[in-house]
Every structure is written in structure tokens, then in C-alpha cells.
Amino acid sequence: MAAGSGPRLIVCVKGSLDESLMASDKGLNDLRPKRIIYIIKLHIVGDGCRFWSKTHKSGIVVPCHSLCFMIYLLVHPLLQSRDSGEGSSVQLSLGEEFSGFLFVLKLNESTWVNDMGDDFYIPLPSSGSSIIGNREDQSEGVQREVTEEEGEEESISVFTDGIINEIRHLVTDISSEKNRKTKSKEAQESILQEIEKLAAEAYSIFRSSVPTFSEESIVESEAAAESKTLILPDLPPQISSGTGTGYEILCQGFNWESHKSGRWYMELKEKAAELASFGFTVIWLPPPTESVSPEGYMPKDLYNLNSRYGTFDELKDVVKSFHEVGIKVLGDVVLNHRCAHYKNQNGIWNLFGGRLNWDDRAIVADDPHFQGRGNKSSGDNFHAAPNIDHSQEFVRKDLKEWLRWLREEIGYDGWRLDFVRGFWGGYVKDYLEASGPYFAVGEYWDSLSYTYGEMDHNQDAHRQRIIDWINATAGTAGAFDVTTKGILHSALERCEYWRLSDQKGKPPGVLGWWPSRAVTFIENHDTGSTQGHWRFPSGKEMQGYAYTLTHPGTPSVFFDHLFSHYKTEIATLISIRKQNKINCRSTVKICKAERDVYAAIIDEKVAMKIGPGHFEPPSGSQRWSSTLEGRDYKIWEAS
């Protein structure tokens, strides 16, 4: 492997050293008979796995530790530097009754890394044998005894490999010289916290998927024990508020005009079964609160849920209906600003009523229009309404209680967070930890980079700002991938498909750097609908969906597009995504990014191309079948 490409374990297991040899050569005089020395050697290429030590002000990193799991036994030795060559080693003394152990890297006291998916099950040799193990040998040896369906194992492996790819990217990023020079210590620590979260997620999946002996086979008779098999337990969904299960497909269930009917909730209820049949797993509902504006984005009394979309009871009813067909529901919550009920003595609207009857201390001091007495804003000001000061303890307490109330009383499963540029992402982390959402996504929308009116090819600074916000939330929320929206928009509008690959040959948006936290979209109620602030190129919408619904990230489909002449094509794309288990961490191999064509292969299962140019998947051992074709796009599946 090339340096910097991530950690790689080389495992060597030696056995059957007699006691006198062990005592004289290894200094282990207190070992009992019939114990075996096992020496594990690790070679970590490049910068390897590291975690930041807050006690080292100079930024010194501390070495990895190892954790060894044996069946019914846990040991926790430190890695020792090898006398010659690179890497580390650890020495274990085990009784011969152990048949195997799991080996994983440990980042800190509570976080482990699963590197390659199935490297770390090591069957111990019988006395007198010597085994040199590598990934292929170990994997093959274990899989021969597993009796569960191979499809589930493949799904687990693909999903875990995606997590590991993210860890590798983050490790490479934080270890680079450029990163150390340009990023603050706080930013580096945020990235390292995300590495730990991903590592814990990978380890959780790994521990759920490794072979274990069933209790029944252990206590059965000798004859039965001879035929005992390894059992692969069912893998429960690995859920994070930033990703859901990783297989989410989101539908935005409204547009800018939906409030006009006065019964939008009931209209959506009638479509619940149809949306479920399309394959959507999550629906995003409009803001539920009383609002100065009919669309809901100028909230007033947060506990009054009678809005232009319907009544409190109708809201509960539509949420219940979606739950009955297996769809999770996101509430659109506006936490950045709130409209006041009363004027102060100077005639300024900055005093609130209702259950949350805050005074002007709840408003940031540097909002020029509303005479707030709070602290300075931690983000950008929204000038149409008082900006809330989230540094105030009473504000955070009240908002946490409100979010919990929405979860319990209405049944919301998660949140779409409006205008998160307006306040620090760390406050979002507090709110999410308090309300425990299944899924959460923030709207961090600012301008991309342009030179003389033309979009720059390099949009790293733009996607970095979105990622910085996600980092501030400690990865508890995803974010709409505005970078990908903008680049895709420009590429299709100008026939410049080369824009869809960055300088390293990866997708150029957030999904190229942090796919599990990228919620991809081509249109929403702001960019399209009757507002049309940034409308996707007309007639090219299906090219956009051919991209987002085949690529990693969590794709979002706009209501107006779904219930249009695109319905059948979108439904087919969703079916292809689900059939091939494409998820938020799927891998992308970009095959072409030229003037008139972009093509990629995802997870070695789906090939796609958009643009008028020509592309065919490479012929060879893998055969491809055309599944869907439309105007300037085509999809193939591996057969």
C-alpha cells in the first residue's frame, strides 16, 4: 500500500514454544505449563491511526493502543515499538483452551477501529503449529463455517467498508502537513472526534457480525457438538442522528405554495401509501408552528401547532399515517429566529408571549434591528426577525424541552434544521442530544465561489464551510450538500461535465469528503417551486436524479418533481438504489468526467452516465445490463 493510504494490519501468530524456551528467551518465568506465546506484529503504513491528546499543547500525537478479544476472555495490552523496522508488536500468553480471538485497534478508552472488515478474527493454532495469517486466509477460513445467507454478510461488509473509507479520508486529511498549518487545534479535534464516532460505529457493526458459538451447541452432547456450526447473528440497524441507518431516501413533502390549501396534512395523508411504495424511508414535513408568514418560517408561538398546513390533531394524524406505512417523519424546526408578540418601550418588537415568554435577553446583542440584550451572535444574522441568543441557558433549556415535546406529543422522528448558519453548531449538538432524533439535517446555504461571473472549478472552501458546521455538531447532524447542487447545476446547464470530478478524482461536493453526512438534492422549496431562487436547469432534472440517486450520501427528492411526469423514472431509480443496497457510504469510481459526459461505477454494482457523450461500462469478468435510459442519462446494473 502507498504511504498515507490508511492503516493496514499484518498479523503474525506464532505458537507452541516450550516453557523453558519461553522463560529463557522471553523472561516469562511465571508461566504455567501448556500456555502458548502469541506475537502479534502490526505495520501501520503512513501516518496511521492517531488521536489528539488534549494534554499535549504542542500538538504531539500519542500512539494507538490495541485491544484483543478472546472468546470469554478480554486482555488489553499496550503496543510496543519493534526493535527493528516500522510498526509495533504485542505479546500474549494464552491457555491452549482458546480457539480464537478478535483483534482490533483502539483509538482511546472507548473507541475501536475495524480496519478491513474481517481481518481480525484469528483462529488460534493447535499445539506445535505455526500460522502466518493474512486477510484473505482468515476471511476464507471463517466463511467456510458460516451458515447464514451470504447476501447479508455482503451488505455488512459494504456498509462497514464505507465507514472505513471515511475514517481513512479523515485520517489522511488531519495528518497532512497542510491541515496542520491551516486548521486550528479545535478544528483538528473536531475531525478526530468524528474519527472516533466512525470507529465506534464500525466496531459496533463488526462485533454484531463476527461468528459466535450458540449456547445450545456448547451444552449439547458430544455427538451434537461435533456438528456445531458458527452462527451469524442478525445485524440490527446501526442508527445515528447524522445518517439514520445509512440507507435513507428522503422526500420533501411540500413546496412553497402548499399552505394555500389549508389542509395540506390531510392531502399528504392520502399519499402516504404511495410514497411508501416508491421506496421512501423518510418524509420532511413543513414547519408546524404558528407563524407570521404562512409558509411557517417566521415562527411566533412555538407551542401553537395550528398552522396554515392544518391543525394540531391533523398533524398528529398525518405523522401516525406515515408511521403505519414505515416512513419516518422529519419536522422542520426554525431555531435561529423567532417573531415577537409585543413591543418594548421604544416600540421595538422584541418581547415574546405564549409558553416561552422570553424578554429581550433572548435576542443577540448585535442584531441591529431588535435591541437585544443577549450576547453577540455566534453566526450570521437573519434580518427579518429577532435572532435568538443560544448562549443563554434559559433559551437552550426551553428549546430542548420543546424539541422533546414535539418528539413525544407529535411523534416526529427527527429534524430538518432551518438556517443553521445563524448560530454555532455546538448548540445544535446539545439540542440533538437532548431530543434524540433518528435523523437530522441542517440547511447551511451560502454562495459558491465565482470569478467574473463563472463558477470556479475548485469549490473546496465552500464544502469545507459546510463540513466545519457538521464538525461543530460532532457529526450528530448531516447537511444539505449545497456544493454538489451548485456544481451539478452548472455542469448540466453549461455542458461542462468535467466539473463533477475534483482534482483528486472524487465527487466535488460534500459527498466526496464526508458522504455519510451529505444530504444531496437538486431542488427544494427555496431554489425551485414559485420562489425559483436557484432553479435547476429545465429539462435536465432526471440527469440530476440519475446522479444523486445512484451516488453515496442521503438523496432527497423534491415533491414537485415526484408528482410530475418524472414520477415513473424517479421511482425506478429509487428501486435500483434499494435493490443494489447503495447507501450513504457507498464507493464511487469516476470513469469519465469530460466536457459532454460524466460516468461512474458505484459499489461495483451500478454504472451510470449523464450527458450527451458516450460511455459503456468496461467489459470483462463483470457483465452489465442496461436497466434505465432517458434523456441524456443511462443506468446499468451488474449481472
Catalytic residue list:
418, 443
Task: Report the sign of the C-alpha dihedral through residues 422, 549, 517, 333, in that order.
Answer: positive
Closest to 506 in 3D by CA, of 467, 465, 552: 552
For residue 38, the SS3 value is strand
Other Cβ atoms closer than 10 A to 368: 8
Measured CA to CA, the distance from residue 583 to residue 577 in angstroms comes to 8
Go through the chain and tell me how many residues it has: 639
| Mode of pairing for the β-strands spanning 250-252 and 230-231 | unpaired
Task: Yes or no: say if 362 and 374 are a contact pair by the CB < 8 Å rule.
Answer: yes
Phi, psi at residue 240, to the nearest 5°?
-135, 145
Map 157-174 to HEC letters.
HHHHHHHHHHHHHHHHHH
Closest to 100 in 3D by CA, of 8, 201, 209, 210: 210
DSSP string, 186-255: HHHHHHHHHHHHHHHHHHHHHHHHS-EE-HHHHHS-HHHHTT--EE--------BTTTBTS---EEE---
The gap from C-alpha 165 to its chain's centroid, in whole angstroms, comes to 12
Task: Report the sign of the C-alpha dihedral through residues 23, 25, 28, 34, in that order.
Answer: negative
Task: Yes or no: say if 93 and 28 are a contact pair by the CB < 8 Å rule.
Answer: yes
Q: How far is CA 215 from CA 70, 97, 143, 153, 225, in A?
A: 16, 17, 20, 22, 11
Phi, psi at residue 66, to the nearest 5°?
-120, 160
